[in-house]
Amino acid sequence: MTTEAMTKEELLGNCPKCGKSWDGGPIPENMREHYSPPYRWSLVIDLEDPKVYDGVSWWKCPHCGATFDRFKKIKN
Ligand SMILES: [Zn+2]
């Protein structure tokens, strides 16, 4: 079974829960070599759980605190 992880670049829309924007604006040109297009900051907070996955496994909305499973799209 394979699961497809969301990338942070997908998280520039609005929070499905509170509807507020996760778009943090453009990344300065001199920092873009470390990022991928569309070169915009996401306001979403990374949450790691080493028991689940070595890396980011959850996203957290900075506005309402809702958490989203990176591997299962939206969690209620
Ligand atoms: Zn939210």
What is the predicted pLDDT for the residue at 1?
Answer: 44
Q: Which residue has the higher pLDDT, 22 or 73?
A: 22
What is the predicted pLDDT for the residue at 6?
Answer: 66
Domain map (residue ranges) of the chain:
8-69
What is the predicted pLDDT for the residue at 76?
Answer: 46
What does the pLDDT look like over 2-58, one tens digit per residue?
556 666 666 788 998 999 999 999 999 999 998 888 899 889 998 887 887 777 788
CA distance 24 to 72: 24
What is the predicted pLDDT for the residue at 73?
Answer: 53
Residue 44, C-beta contacts closer than 8 angstroms, at least 6 positions apart = 8, 11, 22, 59, 60, 61, 62
Ligand 1 centroid, distance to 55 Cα (angstroms): 22
Other beta carbons within 10 angstroms of residue 68's beta carbon come to: 21
Ligand 1 centroid, distance to 67 Cα (angstroms): 8
Average pLDDT over residues 54-65: 87
